[in-house]
Amino acid sequence: MVTIYDIARLSGVSKSTVSRVLNNHPYISTENRMKVEKVIEELNYVPNSIAKQFRQKQTKCIGILVPDLNHPYFSQLVSSISSECNRKGFKTVVHQTFSSKKLEREVYTQLRNKELDGIILTSSLLSEEEIAECTQKNLLVACNEDFSGNYFDVFCLNEENVTFEATTYLLNKGLTKIGFCSDNIDTPSQQARLRGFILAHDKKGLNHTKDYIFNQISTVENGITLGLRLFKNRLEIEGIIAGSDFVAAGLIKSAEIHDIKIPQDFSVIGFDNHPISLATTPQVSTICNRIKDMSNDLVDHMANKINGKKQIPVKKIYNGKIIIRESN
C-alpha cells in the first residue's frame, strides 16, 4: 500500500508537506505542490481514509434508523435523507429494526462505539428517556417521529392536526362510525394521529368506536383483509382513516369485490399521497407529507452540529395537507 510517506520520500519533501497538499492548505510553494502531485499520480496513491478518520475522530458516517426499508413511506424518506447527507459529504448507514427493540438498541451501541457520527431516527419503539440513556452524549436527531423535543431535536409532521382535520372532514359529511388504522400504534407518530382522531370526535360531542381502531395494518394485503372483515359482515362502519395509501388501495379493492360503493357507502382517506393513490378507482383522497422539507432541514441541522457549529435545540413541526380526490 502506498502511503503518504512514500510520496514524501519520492518527491523529496516531508510527510507534512504531502499532507498539506492533500488537504489543500494555503501557503505551499507551487514547485513542491507540483512535485508531490506528480508522484501521487505516478504511484496512483489513494489516501487511507480510515487513518484519517482515526486521526480526526470522525467517521463521516450518519446512521439512519428505520423500521423497514421495504415500505413506501420509509423508502422515500430514507432516499431523501440519504441523498442530502451524501451531498454534504456524509455516508449513510442504513439500519432496519424490523420493530425489534433489541436491534434498535444495538444501533445505539454503535453510536456509543463511535462507529457513527450521529443517528437519524425515523421511528422508535423505545421511550425518549431510554433512547437518551442509550445514546448518552452522542448525537441523535429524530425525523418523522413525534417526540417531545426535551431529549433531542425533532423534525416531524403535525400528525395530530392533520388527522384531526381529515377526521373532521368525514364527520362534517355526516359520517358517525369512522375507523382508524395504524401500522404500529405504539409509536409516537401513530399516537399523535390517534389523538387527532379522537379529538375530532370530542369536538363534535361524538364518541369514537374502540372496536374500529385497527393496529398492525400497513399493506395492500392488510387493507384487503380488513375490508373482507368489514364488508362481508356488513358492519355499520361508514368510513376509515386508513393511515396509508396502500391500505386505502386494499380497502378500495375489497369494497369493489363486495359490491360496496365508494364513496357512497364507504369513505376512505389515505396517507402520504403516494402514486398508488392515483391508480385506484376511485382515486384515493389522501394527506400529503413533507418529506423533502423535513429531510433538508434535518440534515442541514445535523451537519452543522457535527461540524461543530452551535445549534439551538429545535422541535420543528411541519403541516401536512389534505388532498381530496374521489374516495370520500
Partner DNA sequence: ATGAAAGCGCTAACAG
Partner DNA sequence: CTGTTAGCGCTTTCAT
Residue numbers at the binding site for DNA (CB under 7 A): 1, 3-5, 12-17, 19-20, 22-23, 26-29, 31-33, 47-48, 51-52, 54-56
Identify any residues that bridge with 66 across adjacent strands, giving them in sequence order: 96
Other CB atoms within 10 A of residue 126 CB: 16
CB of 3 to DNA, least distance (A): 4
Structure-block grid coordinates of residue 215? 393496529
Partner from a second copy, DNA, none binding residue 13, C-beta < 5-8 Å depending on class:
DNA
46 interacts with a second copy by CB under 8 A: yes
CB of 221 to a second copy, least distance (A): 6
Under a CB-based contact definition with an 8 Å cutoff, are residues 182 and 190 in contact?
yes
Partner from a second copy, DNA, none binding residue 75, C-beta < 5-8 Å depending on class:
a second copy
Q: How far apart are CA 193 and CA 187, in angstroms?
A: 10
80 interacts with a second copy by CB under 8 A: yes
Nearest residue to 298 (alpha-carbon basis) of 155, 170, 167: 155
Partner from DNA, a second copy, none binding residue 96, C-beta < 5-8 Å depending on class:
a second copy
Which positions from 85 through 124 interact with a second copy, judged by CB under 8 A?
Answer: 86, 91-96, 98, 103, 109-110, 112-115
Partner from DNA, a second copy, none binding residue 135, C-beta < 5-8 Å depending on class:
none
Nearest residue to 219 (alpha-carbon basis) of 240, 200, 243, 195: 243
Q: How far apart are CA 71 and CA 116, in angstroms?
A: 24
Q: Which residue has the cell 355526516?
A: 174
Residues 6+ apart with CB under 8 A from 106: none
Nearest residue to 109 (alpha-carbon basis) of 134, 86, 92, 91: 134
When the beta carbons of 241 and 248 are compared against a second copy, the nearer one is 248
Partner from DNA, a second copy, none binding residue 94, C-beta < 5-8 Å depending on class:
a second copy
**Could you say which of 23, 24, 41, 57 contacts a second copy (CB under 8 A)?**
57
**Could you say which of 70, 216, 311, 319 contacts a second copy (CB under 8 A)?**
70
Partner from DNA, a second copy, none binding residue 22, C-beta < 5-8 Å depending on class:
DNA
Q: Which residue has the cell 407518530?
A: 189
When the beta carbons of 26 and 275 are compared against a second copy, the nearer one is 275
When the beta carbons of 88 and 195 are compared against a second copy, the nearer one is 88
Q: Position 328: which residue type?
A: N
Partner from DNA, a second copy, none binding residue 32, C-beta < 5-8 Å depending on class:
DNA
Q: How far apart are CA 75 and CA 73, in angstroms?
A: 6
What is residue 211's DSSP assignment? G
Which positions from 264 through 293 interact with a second copy, judged by CB under 8 A?
Answer: 275-276, 278-281
Q: Which residue has the cell 359482515?
A: 233
Q: How far apart are CA 91 and CA 49, in angstroms?
A: 13
Question: Between helices 4-11 and 30-43, what is the axis angle to 10°?
Answer: 120
* Total interface residues for a second copy by CB under 8 A: 55
Residues making contact with a second copy (CB under 8 A): 46-51, 53-54, 57, 59, 61, 68-72, 75-76, 78-80, 82-83, 86, 91-96, 98, 103, 109-110, 112-115, 219-221, 223-224, 246, 249-250, 252-253, 256, 275-276, 278-281
